[in-house]
Structure 1
């Protein structure tokens, strides 16, 4: 029979329990990155004792080159400053990271549905475990790539919104009588957490690949081809 049979027992085994963990870690990964918005406050100290303040507000997907730092023809420190934007674009790495997390979230839900309702079909077929193993191994590799890319992209965001990054971006800050510094930084703790969850997902999916591999015929054929341990060898006929 191939009908749906609800069975919660797989959640007590590594195969099902790890898939539930993968579902949860995927939520934390894209949730901590995809919904982020932060603001840095830049203080400009003019030579005549006047101070100016700029706001650098940025959010996912971190296309910093589209974020205005100074609006067109703004007067700062008695100087007319042309329109200036932040420098950098980490959208590709951020969207790649969130995209992988969403795919993993959806696949983990489908896999849990199969484990809990169609495990009798899953174990009696060759295609199901082999497909599950191949996709699990591929996803583990994707986590390695997207987490590394996003870690580099996040560092680029931090550099572009830091005091040296603002000074190199805003020409006014390079004049002798003007000093610029970021007086208030956006809290990027959730972005740091997203990178941690990215590498945690890598470890979880790589570990899960072993338990899925044990369900494939490759693993069963490997052990069925080995002689039984501790079994006495039959004497050769005389």
Structure 2
């Protein structure tokens, strides 16, 4: 009868934002009629709230960007402000997703340690008595929280991969794409000017300039010179 009456169980409920130091539970004492109130250890609300805040703002910005892409395409491309703002915000959110996901993954690991049944039993005075046997009936379920960490890093990969596509819409990428084609055109223009300059110089260096009636007969003058020279000999 004494053994049956001492077969007691207790449950500990904890959830977001994981301020475990505020989570209390009552544990039976050896007398059986008394119960003690205990608290878990740790405060992991900052990492959890930071992760959720980044997720909410990223979702809202995605909605605003989608509306701008569809209904305000002209305003989006006006003066190249839209693509530049979109590029900067995408880089910031990519970094924030990485930081928040890493912080939440570390906090979740600490939450698992703080709520481990073997660790919680160390706080219960009745479990410190060697004559009593304390064991966990059911451990916490971490599937949902583990999934949140995975989705956090997937969002980082998605936003980081989108940086290139947003950068292609900016004036920086378009200016860099036009830059390689600039020097050859300038070089060809300089070559044409230099060729025209050489042609003018050749015309001006001859005995008969482009003005006058004897200009086209430059070939005759070139032939006549050696003939005149031979006559002098």
Q: TM over 0.5: same fold?
A: yes
Q: Partners of 1:161 and 1:225 in 2: how far apart? A: 60
Q: Partners of 2:150 and 2:157 in 1: how far apart? A: 11
- Larger helix proportion, structure 1 or 2? 2
Equivalent position of 2:17 in the other structure = 61
Q: For structure 1, which runs of at least 5 residues remain unmatched after alignment?
A: 1-46
Per-residue CA distance 1:89-148 (angstroms, 9 max, x = gap):
111111111111000111000000000101122123321111111111001101011101
- Larger strand proportion, structure 1 or 2? 1
SS at match of 2:12: strand
Q: Partners of 2:130 and 2:113 in 1: how far apart? A: 23
SS at match of 1:225: helix
Aligned residue runs from structure 1 range 15-164, under 5 A: 50-70=6-26, 75-78=28-31, 80-164=34-118
* Greater than 6 Å deviation, 4+ residue runs: none
Q: Partners of 1:124 and 1:224 in 2: how far apart? A: 20
Counterpart contact for 1:87–1:160, Cα < 8 Å: yes
Q: How many pairs align?
A: 188
Q: Are residues 189 and 75 of structure 1, via their aligned partners in 2, closer, same or farther at CA, if it must alter by over 3 Å?
A: closer
CA shift at 1:180, angstroms?
2.4
CA shift at 1:160, angstroms?
1.4
Q: Partners of 1:158 and 1:186 in 2: how far apart? A: 8
CA shift at 1:81, angstroms?
4.9
Counterpart contact for 2:11–2:25, Cα < 8 Å: yes
Question: Which is bigger in relative contact order (C-alpha 8 A, separation at least 6)?
Answer: 1
Counterpart contact for 1:163–1:180, Cα < 8 Å: no
**CA RMSD in angstroms, aligned pairs only:** 2.4
CA shift at 1:62, angstroms?
1.0
Q: Partners of 1:169 and 1:129 in 2: how far apart? A: 57
Further displaced range: 77-86 or 190-199: 77-86
Q: Partners of 1:100 and 1:160 in 2: how far apart? A: 25
1:167 aligns with 2:121: yes
Q: Partners of 1:129 and 1:77 in 2: how far apart? A: 69
Equivalent position of 1:20 in the other structure = none
Counterpart contact for 2:117–2:139, Cα < 8 Å: no
Q: Are residues 224 and 169 of structure 1, via their aligned partners in 2, closer, same or farther at CA, if it must alter by over 3 Å?
A: farther
Q: Partners of 1:118 and 1:176 in 2: how far apart? A: 72
